[in-house]
Amino acid sequence: MLVIRLARGGRNKYPTYRIVAAEQRFAPTGRFVEILGRYNPHTKELVLDKEGIQKRVEQGAQPSNTVLRLMVREGMELPKWANVAQKQRAPKKEVEVTPEEAAAEAQDTPVEEAAAPAEAPAETVATPAKSDGDPKDTIDPDEAAQASGEAQAAATDAAEKATKLAAK
């Protein structure tokens, strides 16, 4: 079966392609029947022999997906049976950045180290101490509120510094 595909040429790490009609069983850069155009992906230069491609497609040649996309880009009419496959990509997940992460990023410190001082008092409040009935083991709500207020102020200061550094 005859196919229309790209044959790589060019120098090392700078590919250029010829659009060729070749027998499917031959190597991609091997023997071909006819050169139908050229494509340089670096300069986006595309030259197609539209009549030659149309003639080969009418004879039953199967264009590769890349050649089909190049034909569409050039404004050529595709055969009715040709389907241009689209790459299916999962949508990117949006990640919310907390003020602690922004501060850590601005200071080039790991998130765990930057977030640790702000989270420590909150954990103390969230987990009650074991109580054997001794008043020393209980947490005073006023001390806990003061500690969490200080932690919030530190986190706010870090976020403001991160914002100022990002603005520079």
Are 70 and 84 in contact, with CB atoms under 8 Å apart? Answer: no
Domains in the chain, CATH or no CATH each: 2-74 (3.30.1320.10), 99-167 (no CATH)
Give the integer Cα–Cα distance in Å for 149 and 98: 17
Please name the amino acid found at residue 42: H
pTM above 0.75, yes or no: no
pLDDT at 122: 47
Q: Are 3 and 64 in contact (CB under 8 A)?
A: yes
The pLDDT assigned to 40 comes to: 95
CA 110 – CA 102 distance, rounded (Å): 11
Q: What is the pLDDT of residue 16?
A: 95
Residues 6+ apart with CB under 8 A from 51: none
Phi first, then psi: give them for residue 82, nearest 5 degrees.
-80, 130
The per-residue pLDDT for 139 is 64
| Consecutive H or E run containing 67 | helix 65-74
Point out the residues of the chain with pLDDT beneath 50: 114, 119-126
